[in-house]
Amino acid sequence: MRLLEQRIITDGIIGENDVLKVGTFLNQQIDVELMSACADEFCRLFKDAGITKVLTVEASGIAIAAITALRLGVQLVFAKKSVTSNVAGAVYSADAYSFTHNHNNTLIVPCAYLGQSDKVLIIDDFLARGEAVNALLDICESAGAVAAGVGILIEKAYQGGGEKIKKRGVRLESLARIASLDVKNGITFEN
Ligand code: G4P
């Protein structure tokens, strides 16, 4: 998606350890107009997939997932990374090791929020090695829900996450696919 790619070029900062910093429009300050345009695109791509629920993981995925859910006219569920006093009853859980943050997260979704009748669209801001999305797919499986697709804003296409998802037979749509991230040569995209 041209608009998102252009914003990554103008605002993205290449940090250490292959991390792309996009705090000005995605990870801390959120450009809601840009997110709205991205949600429209996810809606166009998945409007015929019979989605009944959007699923993401806290924190940065929530904004784009919420606008997408609004457009699709369905509820949004987000996985928490720890049990809090607000989480009651039985839960589905799956582990996701974050290479970016170098620690393990146990993703948790109450069983009441996901079930066999659901067709789920997983939305997230980034796809790198795919640990987080893989864990969300595990949770859908545990719930007996159908994972109808995965929508990603920024995929670092060279880190293998996309292959993992496709191997599981799940449709993947990424709005910007980064082919390389290099302080010297900048950011390049692939289709
Ligand atoms: P990983 O293998 O690098 O850990 O990536 P994975 O696809 O499992 O995503 C794990 C987390 O890392 C996600 O955030 C994802 O948004 C973030 N992430 C991965 N690569 C980058 C990057 O280059 N830039 C930025 N800004 N984020 C990246 P999370 O752990 O769920 O944290 P949160 O930011 O959503 O709170």
Distance 189 CA to ligand 1 centre (A): 18
For 76-145, the DSSP string reads EEEEBSS--TT--S-EEEEEEEETTTTEEEEEEEEGGG--TT-EEEEEEEEESS-HHHHHHHHHHHHHT-
Compute the average pLDDT of residues 52-56.
Answer: 98
Predicted pLDDT at 88: 75
Distance 71 CA to ligand 1 centre (A): 25
Q: pTM of this prediction? A: 0.96
Q: What is the pLDDT of residues 176-191, one digit of tens each?
A: 999 999 888 899 999 8
Q: State which ligand 1 atom lies nearest to the alpha carbon of 132.
A: 8
Predicted pLDDT at 184: 85
Q: What is the pLDDT of residues 136-177, one digit of tens each?
A: 999 999 999 999 999 999 999 999 999 999 999 999 999 999
Probe target for ligand 1 pocket from 13, 22, 98, with the most ligand atoms within 8 Å of CB:
98
Predicted pLDDT at 32: 98
Pocket of ligand 1 contains residue 49 by CB under 6 Å: no
